[in-house]
């Protein structure tokens, strides 16, 4: 595990990147390339994407696992002088134009902060979900699927994540019910086709789970609509894939503005309402949340931090007539609290 | 997996070359009539040993050499003790295949360097809470991509504190332990048979569990991922 060797004398970093997922790692790589004195603070390394079995929409890689992708970007970032602290940031405060980031054990000072904190899984708000969490109510098919060998399980959710979770579980489970609130499975077409071809996956439309029951382990889920004449499905596990919640609490406490969903508001330059504070990836209010868009935002944020700090970035294109690399950051400093 | 894929092998060779410091001894416990996973683990470890001249390999007959098994705290097979300049208490039970291959590599590197890579303040905090022996069992499966994160962190604590020992257990090979410890999701950690949690936790929270285990107070399960 990469935790840098810290001394009592801490440096003033140019940028503190909060988040260890692909967005933060890509930002760290770019910040390192631009010679910014960079610290990345995040846990777990690789972020949530590491629990994805396969990724087929990241340009340049026809198919690879989420962990492979994260490991590749991590290895790339390590090619530059970047301090990496795989721990959770517990508090971030502002002192004039600078920021202090605390973890459970240490403190880091930086001139700019980039929130790449991502999201966490949304929990199912029904009786039994809390009681059985970790005891049959799970969030990672890849991590826990083998424990349900030859058993019936349910996946709750109607998006691409639910489709992929069902396909992962099909490697082990005997029967997978996908319980969908709406009237369709809104998955990527390629995954939808795979689901349709997998006989052991059954789609249950227009239905909500109202409770998860059993003693001592899960025995069934109760539905608000009958399915094949019954309002119960006998399952041993329930995998939740109903979306995610932005991890923006630290940013909010710092005064960063968010929308009604708790997503950090950014402009196209990834600036927030606070000068020197940037945000990128799934934690922001961008609509299309993908690894590739997060990575793109992360590197944009690293560049904007560089400009904010007054760096003189020399683009290879600077002498070309058709593309200019503006050096003046004033137009990007316009946003204030 | 009983062999190391070529691309991974190159990466591991390079990492061993750059990071291994002191010799590492892999002590593998099996038996004459090897169980299926014993044979696969044996083959895998033989491959790993060839990746650095700083790694040596000893095969111990679990059934016959009870003294050695007892000395290293081995009570089931296949089992691996990763020994560095001293015994840091790093153990793996079951085949370290799939994502768990990464945990094996981390264990070898930690045992060789003897460096926990924790910050001085984190080491100090660990010293304060690990006042009594704490045995950390981490239950994993080879398909779990986040399990090596928790395993490596536990190894760090074991390197930093002689009161910490770590057993990484591939739970599919030991179904009776899955029942005993109610393992439904991975990773799951059980500390001193009393404190348990499921999922990934950051280092600070892990230390709280170590403190509770050292003090003998039980806790529930706190999944985070």
The ipTM estimated for the assembled molecules is 0.85
Give B176-197 pLDDT, tens digit per residue: 999 999 999 899 999 999 999 9
At A316 the pLDDT is: 44
> A55: which DSSP letter?
B
pLDDT at position B218, please? 60
Alpha-carbon distance B65 to nearest alpha carbon in chain A (angstroms): 33
Q: Do A103 and B141 touch (CB under 8 A)?
A: no
Rounded Cα distance between A112 and B70, Å, is: 54
Closest CA to A22 of A244, A289, A248: A289
A168-183: pLDDT as tens digits: 999 999 999 999 999 9
For B132-141, b where at least 16 C-beta lie within 10 A, e where not — what string? eebbbbbbbb
Cross-chain residue pair A138–B149, CB shorter than 8 Å: no
Q: Are A165 and A155 in contact (CB under 8 A)?
A: yes
Q: What percent of chain B has pLDDT over 90?
A: 87
Label residue B146 by pLDDT band (50, 70, 90): very high
Give A190's pLDDT tier (boundaries 50, 70, 90): very high
Longest dimension (CA), chain B: 48
Distances (CA, A) of A180 to A133, A142, A224, B18: 20, 21, 12, 51
What backbone phi and psi angles, to 5 degrees, belong to A77?
-60, -35
Tokens 């790692």 appear where? A25
What is the 8-class DSSP label of residue A267? -
- Cβ-defined contact of B122 to A2 (cutoff 8 Å): no
Interchain contact, B106 vs A1, CB within 8 Å: yes
Three-state secondary structure call for residue B120: helix
> Model pTM?
0.85
pLDDT at A10: 66
Kindly state the average pLDDT of the residues A280-309.
95
Which residues of A fall within a CB distance of 8 Å from B174?
Answer: none
Report the gap between the CA of B189 and the closest CA in chain A (Å). 12
Which residues of chain A neighbour B152 with C-beta distances below 8 Å?
1
Share of chain B above pLDDT 70, in %: 95
What is the structure's pLDDT at A334?
37
Give the pLDDT confidence score for residue A3 in this predicted structure: 40
| Alpha carbons A135 and B39: distance in angstroms, whole number | 32
B-chain CB neighbours of A51 within 8 Å are: 145-146, 225
Q: Which residue has the higher pLDDT, B118 or A4?
A: B118
Sequence-ordered alpha helix ranges (H) in chain A: 22-33, 66-77, 141-144, 160-169, 189-197, 249-254, 291-308
With an 8 Å Cβ cutoff, is A139 touching chain B? yes
Active centre residues of A (catalytic): 140, 143-144
The 10s digit of each residue's pLDDT in A204-253 is: 999 999 999 999 999 999 999 999 999 999 999 999 999 999 999 999 99
pLDDT at A312: 56
Which of B171, B185, B186 to substitute to test the interface with A, most A CBs within 10 Å? B185
The predicted-structure confidence for A35-85, as pLDDT tens digits, reads as follows: 999 999 999 999 988 888 788 899 999 999 999 999 999 999 999 999 999
Q: Does A91 touch chain B (CB under 8 A)?
A: no
Q: Please provide the average confidence, as pLDDT, over all residues in chain A.
A: 89
Q: Report how far residue A51's alpha carbon sits from residue B23's, in angstroms, rounded to the nearest whole number.
A: 34
Retrieve residue A60's tokens.
């340049």
The answer to whether the CB atoms of B122 and A104 lie below 8 A apart is yes
Structure-token pair, residue A323:
């593309």
pLDDT digits (tens, 9 = 90+) for A113-134: 999 999 999 999 999 999 999 8
The arithmetic mean of pLDDT across residues A16-21, rounded, is 98
Q: Is the pLDDT of residue B221 over 50?
A: no
């Amino acid at each position: 595990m990469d935790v840098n060797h810290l001394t009592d004398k801490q440096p003033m970093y140019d940028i503190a990147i909060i988040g260890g997922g692909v967005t933060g790692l890509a930002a760290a790589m770019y910040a390192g390339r631009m010679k910014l004195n960079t610290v990345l603070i995040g846990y777990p390394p690789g972020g949530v994407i590491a629990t994805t079995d396969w990724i087929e929409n990241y340009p340049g890689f026809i198919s690879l696992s989420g962990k492979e992708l994260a490991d590749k970007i991590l290895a790339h970032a390590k090619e530059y002088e970047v301090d990496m602290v795989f721990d959770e940031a517990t508090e971030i405060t502002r002192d004039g134009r600078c920021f202090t980031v605390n973890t459970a054990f240490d403190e880091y000072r930086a001139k700019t902060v980039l929130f790449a904190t991502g999201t966490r899984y949304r929990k199912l708000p029904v009786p039994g979900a809390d009681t059985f969490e970790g005891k049959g109510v799970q969030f990672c098919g890849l991590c826990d699927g083998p424990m349900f060998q030859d058993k019936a399980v349910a996946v709750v959710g109607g998006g691409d994540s639910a489709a992929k979770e069902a396909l992962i579980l099909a490697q082990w489970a005997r029967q997978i019910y996908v319980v969908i609130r709406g009237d369709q499975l809104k998955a990527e077409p390629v995954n939808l086709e795979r689901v349709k071809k997998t006989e052991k996956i059954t789609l249950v439309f227009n239905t909500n789970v109202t409770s998860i029951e059993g003693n001592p382990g899960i025995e069934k889920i109760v539905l608000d609509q009958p399915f094949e004449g019954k309002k119960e499905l006998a399952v041993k596990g329930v995998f939740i894939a109903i979306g995610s919640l932005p991890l923006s609490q630290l940013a909010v406490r710092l005064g960063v503005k968010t929308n009604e969903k708790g997503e950090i508001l950014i402009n196209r330059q990834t600036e927030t309402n606070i000068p020197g504070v940037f945000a990128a990836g799934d934690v922001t209010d961008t609509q299309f949340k993908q690894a590739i868009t997060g990575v793109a935002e992360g590197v944009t944020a690293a560049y904007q931090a560089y400009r904010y700090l007054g760096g003189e970035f020399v683009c290879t294109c600077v002498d070309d007539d058709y593309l200019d690399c503006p050096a003046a950051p004033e137009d990007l400093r316009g946003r204030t609290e | 997996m009983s062999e190391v894929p070529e691309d991974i092998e190159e990466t591991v060779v390079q990492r061993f070359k750059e990071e291994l410091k002191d010799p590492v001894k892999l002590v593998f416990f099996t038996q004459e009539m090897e169980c299926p996973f014993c044979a696969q683990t044996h083959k895998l470890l033989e491959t790993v040993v060839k990746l650095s001249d700083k790694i040596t390999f000893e095969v111990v007959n679990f059934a016959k050499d009870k003294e050695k098994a007892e000395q290293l705290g081995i009570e089931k097979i296949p089992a691996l003790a990763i020994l560095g300049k001293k015994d840091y208490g790093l153990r793996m039970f079951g085949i370290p295949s799939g994502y768990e291959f990464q945990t094996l590599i981390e264990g070898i590197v930690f045992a060789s360097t003897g460096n926990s890579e924790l910050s001085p303040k984190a080491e100090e905090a660990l010293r304060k809470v690990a006042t009594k022996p704490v045995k950390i069992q981490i239950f994993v499966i080879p398909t779990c991509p986040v399990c090596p994160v928790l395993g490596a962190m536990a190894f760090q604590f074991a390197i930093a504190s002689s009161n910490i020992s770590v057993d990484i257990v591939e739970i599919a090979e030991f179904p009776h332990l899955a029942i005993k410890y109610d393992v439904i999701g991975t990773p799951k950690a059980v500390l001193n048979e009393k404190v348990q949690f499921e999922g990934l936790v950051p280092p600070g929270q892990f230390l709280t569990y170590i403190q509770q285990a050292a003090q003998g107070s039980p806790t529930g399960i706190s999944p985070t991922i």
